[in-house]
Chains A and B, each alone.
Chain A
Amino acid sequence: MLVVVACLVAATLGFVSYAPNRLLSGAAIGVVPAMRLAASPGPAAVFGVTGLVLLASPFLPRRAAWEWAVILAAGGCAAAVLWLAGSYAEGMAAEGPAVARTSLGAACWVLLACTLLLAGDAAARLRLGPAGTLLAAAAIAGPATAVIAAGAVDQLSLAKEYANQRDIFFDAVVRHGEIVVAALLPTVLAGIPLGVATHRRRALRSVLFPVLNIIQTIPSIALFGLLMAPLSGLADALPWLAGLGISGIGMAPAVVALVLYSLLPVVRNTVAGLAGVPAPVREAALGMGMTPGQVFWRIDAPLALPVLLSGVRITAVQAVGLAAVAALIGAGGLGAIMFRGLFANALDLVLLGAIPVILLAVLVDLLMRLLIALTTRRGA
């Protein structure tokens, strides 16, 4: 118990030592001047109150109620940081020239990261079930979402960039999702039977795993590149394939590469899940007169499901990131916005692409974890 309290002290010390904050925008502005120049005193007040709770968090008794208080305070604090920055931007926009842009500075990001870390730590200690996890996630992300939705940050450069790119942005998000889903469906449909077959035939295992392993080893950008030439050759040779949208660049090589990458975790975890079914359980089922088919569907499948799903989770999170790289071969998606920003040295554009990719990955991770928790509870 003391250990955990001390661990929070450590987190909090780090948190405070970042305190000489700057809201960077060409010229760096400290957090205190930012409060003074902000359009309204609201965010500073919220920031102060929630910040105090977070500072006090290591000294609070370790009760569930206090952990929840920390989570709520962290959510509020993150929102207040954004609100403060937005409010400052508003104040500056009212005085300064219309083209002036205020962007979030390093301290802002550090503060956000620290609040999330404190919240994550508190949530980890609560050992939440599925419903609790969802509630905690809502408590952490809710206030910030509300602040953004209310338009409190509209004067920040990132929000302006978003407003300029709104249509492109939504198309990119949809496209990103399409790539991920288009890759995951065949992976799961092919990976699970492949895993079952591999589990039953050991010979297959010694061939399949090294091959999949080598594919996973090859860097994504190289795999995309290696698939380009054969696919474009294929499309040239068989025009009807090109008619289906198969070509060297675009979604086809992206989806093919993603499927190849994603197979390993799914197959490996299917095998591991099936191997983890205790032999006595299967024998008991057979003894009760179940047919092998029944044993598979009623015993093996439900017991192996959580392990299998955690393979799908790894794959899905990985696919979100790989889909961003796929923008380089013209597959579109959020990566396209990100790389356009990198090539054009437009930093807000980079953020507009990269931050949603991270959020998407975290969201997918969270949802898959919930699903795994639900299936485990039922199976246990």
Chain B
Amino acid sequence: MTSPRQALHLPGPLAWLVVAFIALTLGMPALRPVFAALFPYLDRPVYVQESFVSLVLAHLELVAVSSGAAVVVGVLAGIFVTRPAGAAFRGVLDTVVAMGQTFPPVAVLALAVPALGFGEPPALIALFLYGLLPVMQNTIVGLADVPEAAREAAAGLGMRRMQVLWQVELPLAAGVILAGIRTSVIINLGTAAIASTVGSKTLGSPIILGLSGGNTAYVLQGAILLGLLAVILDLGFARLARALPRRPS
């Protein structure tokens, strides 16, 4: 349901989008005449406060750190509660995941500010916490869906528990876990942009500045890059999912 299959058979879309994205990121100042023509009433038609390269890098760093931590913690937590030793925590975790995902990400981000102050830390922690939920959920679901027969067969072959986990359970659950990681990254990418309102430097910065200052060109520049980045990551994940070994079902 998530992979636009026929689009991915072509070598093109993803590569072209990446090229377009890099070109736009580097060449935004060169587009000044275009934006000046589109918005003749603006004094400064191109965002120059920071370079778009630094915005993209800062944005990606924020997402990579928060989502990276969320993936590590989320997958470990998911593995833990599906082991006999951690089964006791499963119910609580399920409740947290179900309740937490009802909370809008923006509200979580806003609440991090009173708790942690302005700047990078609240954004990072809010993104981490929110990104954790889909990863945990899909890890639990993915591991729980591994057929009991596969597990028993592996044990019957003399595999130890860790071997069963690494060689049977995780490969079988990989597709579902990856889907959770994808959701987490895409949500964090969008929420990170809103984190400009709490003082982070991201691709949201030109958008927010443009919105508050009535500069539609700034908004457009930030929005185009942000939208492209999201589509690129999404297609990348779709490609990654296709590269996974097919689950026999």
Which residues of A come within 8 Å of B, CB atoms?
3-4, 6-7, 9-11, 106, 109, 116-117, 120-121, 124-125, 206, 209-210, 213-214, 217-226, 228-229, 232, 248-249, 268, 317-318, 320-322, 324-325, 328-330, 335, 338-339, 341-343, 345, 347, 350-351, 353-355, 357-358, 361-362, 365
Contacts and interface: CB of A to CB of B under 8 A. Distances in A.
B233 to A, nearest CB: 8
5 contacts: A206-B5, A218-B226, A317-B102, A347-B114, A354-B106
Contacts of A217: 186, 230-231, 234
A321 B104 contact: yes
B102 A117 contact: no
Contacts of B2: 213
A11 B230 CA distance: 37
Nearest to A365: B102
B245 to A, nearest CB: 24
A213 B107 contact: no
B103 interface: yes
A350 B193 CA distance: 18
Nearest to B196: A221
Given A221-B193, A321-B107, A358-B103, A213 B4 contact: yes
Contacts of B111: 350-351, 354-355, 358
A222 B208 CA distance: 10
Interface of B: 1-2, 4-7, 38, 87-92, 94-96, 98-99, 102-107, 110-111, 113-115, 118, 186, 189-191, 193-194, 197-198, 204, 207-208, 210-212, 216, 219-220, 222-224, 226-227, 230-231, 234
A358 B112 CA distance: 13
A223 B227 contact: yes
B179 to A, nearest CB: 13
Given A7-B91, A217-B231, A226 B223 contact: yes
Contacts of B227: 218-219, 222-223, 226
Contact of A225 (B4, B94, B189, B207): B207
A220 B227 CA distance: 9
Contacts of B231: 214, 217-218
B110 A350 contact: yes
B157 to A, nearest CB: 28
A329 B211 contact: yes
A253 B39 CA distance: 19
A210 B207 contact: no
Given A124-B91, A232-B216, A361-B103, A225 B222 contact: yes
Contact of B222 (A222, A321, A342): A222
A214 B234 contact: yes
A219 B102 contact: no
B218 to A, nearest CB: 9
Contacts of B190: 219-222
Contacts of A213: 2, 4, 234
Contact of A324 (B104, B113, B186): B104
A226 B88 contact: no
Q: Which has the most chain B C-beta neighbours within 10 Å: A6, A125, A209, A218?
A: A218
B113 A362 contact: no
B197 A219 contact: no
Contact of A221 (B1, B113, B226): B226
Nearest to B186: A217
A283 B98 CA distance: 38
Contact of B88 (A6, A106, A116): A6
Given A125-B91, A343-B197, 20 more contacts: A4-B91, A6-B88, A121-B92, A219-B193, A219-B227, A221-B204, A221-B223, A222-B226, A222-B227, A225-B222, A226-B220, A226-B224, A249-B211, A317-B104, A318-B104, A338-B107, A342-B197, A345-B118, A357-B106, A357-B107
Contacts of B207: 221-222, 225, 328
Given A120-B95, A226-B224, A357-B106, A221 B88 contact: no
A120 B114 CA distance: 25
A121 B92 CA distance: 6
